[in-house]
Structure formats: C-alpha cells, structure tokens
Amino acid sequence: MPPPVTGQSFSFNETITIIDCKKKIVVNQNFEGEHLLIKYFITIFLFPKYLWLFLFRRIDLVYLTGTRSFQGSVKDMILISLAILFKKKIINHIHGADFKSFMDSLPRLYKRLVINAYRRIDCNVILLEKMRSEIEEFLDGRKLKVIANFYDPIFDTVGFDQKNNEHMVICYFSNLMFSKGILNVIEAFNKMDSRFSNVRLLLAGSYISDEYMTAKEIEEKVSAEINKNSRIISYGVLKGQEKVSFLSSANIFVLPSFYKSEAFPISVIEAMRSGCVLICAAHNYIKEIVTPEHGSLVPARDTDSLCTTMEYYLKDPSGMARISVANCNYAKANYSVSIYSNKINTLFQLILNS
C-alpha cells in the first residue's frame, strides 16, 4: 500500500491492518500524481483485474473507501457492480463532507446508476451522526452505520506530561494548503507576535495544491514568512514518534480549515489526545467535534478572530491546563484504535453473517 497522505488514506491503511480475517487482498485504486492518460489506462485495466479476482479467488466481502470525484467513482462502480454481480457483501466507508455536492455534480443518467449501485451496498459507514441527513437524501438510512475516526495507536505508547507554560507552542499539523487556513494561522501569529515573546509557531505537513493555490505557490508564501520570523518553524512531514513529540510539545493546536470536504480530521483528535487546546474553524462537521470543553471555534478565514482566540488562551495558562487534561482523557475514551477496532470488526462479522 502507498504511504497515506490524507486522513482517509491513513484510515484505510489502518483498517486493513485491524480487520480480523485470515486473508486480505488489497488493490490500490489511488494514482494521485500520475499523468491523466495513465490514470485512464489504469481505470480501464481495473475491470479485467477485478473480474479475475472474483472468478478465481475466494472473496467473501468487499471493503472500499468511496471516492467523491467522477473518475474515482468510475473505479468504484466497476468494483461495486462486479461485487453485486457475484453476490458479494460490500461495506463502503464514506469520508469527507462533500457527498451531496459530489452526487449533484454527476450527469443525470450516471447519477442514477451510482445511486442504484450505492443502495445495493450492504452497509455505508459514516463518521458522524450529523452526516446522516446529507447521505439519506441518496441512500437507505437503515444501511448507514456511524463509526468515528481514531487517532494513530502510537499515541498510546507514551504517557501524558503537563504542558510547558513558560515557553508556549502553537502548532499547525495538517497538509499545508491555502484552504486549510495555513496563511491565516501565520498572519494571526504575526499580529500577536510582539505581545508574546515566549511563544513559537510550529508547522508540520506536506505542501498540497487546492483550487486556490498550487503547492509551489503556498510553499513560497510560507517560506517567505518563515524567513521573516525566526519563531515560525516548519518541520515538514512528520510520522510516528516525531509526530507524537511534535503534538506533545504544543499547548494550542490550530486548524482554521475551510477545505470543502473537511469532515472529521484525524489531526484534530490526535491533537486532542496529545492534550492540546483546539482552535478550529466552524466549518462543515468540525463544529460537531470541537466543543467549548475542547477549545474554541472561529469563523473561517477570519484572522482577527483567530488572533484574539489564541491570545485568550495564552493569557489563561491554568484554563489551558484544565482543557489539556480533559482533552487527553476524552480522546482516549472515545477515539482510541481499540474502540474503532471493536466496532469495525463487529460490523464486518455482522455483514458477513447476515
């Protein structure tokens, strides 16, 4: 499997590891970064590949994380249609907050085919109860199952230490994209910088293009800001223990994302598990995760509100300490991989035995 670059790919990789079964056949349908013609060729090749698997290998259940793009849906339709033809059980894991907009963007006839195929799936997994209303417009609500995201199990290999309130750290841990609010974070930090000489802003993530800016453009802008302020530090892509150390060192986690498909960011619950105070944009389903007990929500793309909220917590270290402990305990009680593993394996057995 390719290394995960998004929460959805991380969740898929971990789920494949977690599933309790004798044998697993993993087919990679993600060819991000490949030339368009190569993508189309691979899509065409998937049909005989899947057909061969269904004809000559024992398959009891098909698990996929459905995409929300036209080309991606074609690959999903090939797999789902063959699974239906060969009467195999199907579980589809729906990530992202753009399922309705994806469906509405499809050509009318193709949309009917997609909806008909999705309605024949045995179970569609969603991340939050609030996603149900968006999905039920197209799919059978009785076949929806809510299973929350989970944090990387590596966080449970370390203890919880009280945060350092003398040299405070604000961190941004996500893909470095314009629509994730990275430039808003830097601008807000620069506004309050002179009033808090003991605070640093740490960044971690991969530069990714979106509809607003290319990866190169955003990297140039972020690099220019780092060169102007020595207390803004970028660590690039962090994994494993480096990720744990990065989030554990931070007092405040900021993610003022207005990314169109933002739903249930794993970075948010990993920051929660690390005892960070959370400051996020009130965008899509994030407001269902971040409540006043966990931190604060700010309007998307509102740098002044972001700056004011960061200052509020920096002036109240005792309040941050209380939230820090509560967040760590809440994440362990609700978002651990053991909880997820129990729920997903129970679902697999239920569908297989139905």
The domain ranges of the chain are: 7-150+337-353, 153-334
- Model confidence at 82: pLDDT above 50: yes
Q: Is 89 helix (H, G, I), strand (E, B) or coil?
A: strand
pLDDT at 3 over 60: no
Q: Are 11 and 93 in contact (CB under 8 A)?
A: yes
pLDDT above 80 for 18: yes
Fold of 153-334: Rossmann fold (3.40.50)
Buried b (16+ CB within 10 A) or exposed e, 222-234: beebbeeeebbeb
What are residue 296's DSSP bridge partners? 279
Q: Give residue 10's pLDDT band: very low, low, confident or very high (50, 70, 90).
A: confident
Check whether 203 has a pLDDT greater than 70: yes
Distance (Å, whole) CA 198 – CA 169: 9
> What is residue 119's predicted lDDT score, i.e. its pLDDT?
94
pLDDT higher than threshold 70 for residue 44: yes
87: left (phi over 0), alpha (psi -120 to 50) or beta: left
**Residue 346 φ/ψ region, left for φ over 0, alpha for ψ in the -120 to 50 degree band, beta for the rest:** alpha
Element (H, E) at 118: helix 108-119
pTM of the entire predicted model: 0.91
Q: Nearest 5°: CA angle at 40, between 89 and 25?
A: 35
**Quick one: pLDDT band at residue 166, thresholds 50, 70, 90?**
confident
Mean residue pLDDT of the chain comes to 91
The stretch 85-112 carries a mean pLDDT of 94
Domains 7-150+337-353 and 153-334 equal at CATH topology level:
yes
Contact 327, 276 (CB under 8 A): yes
CATH 3.40.50 fits 7-150+337-353, yes or no: yes
User: What's the mean pLDDT in 12-25?
Assistant: 88
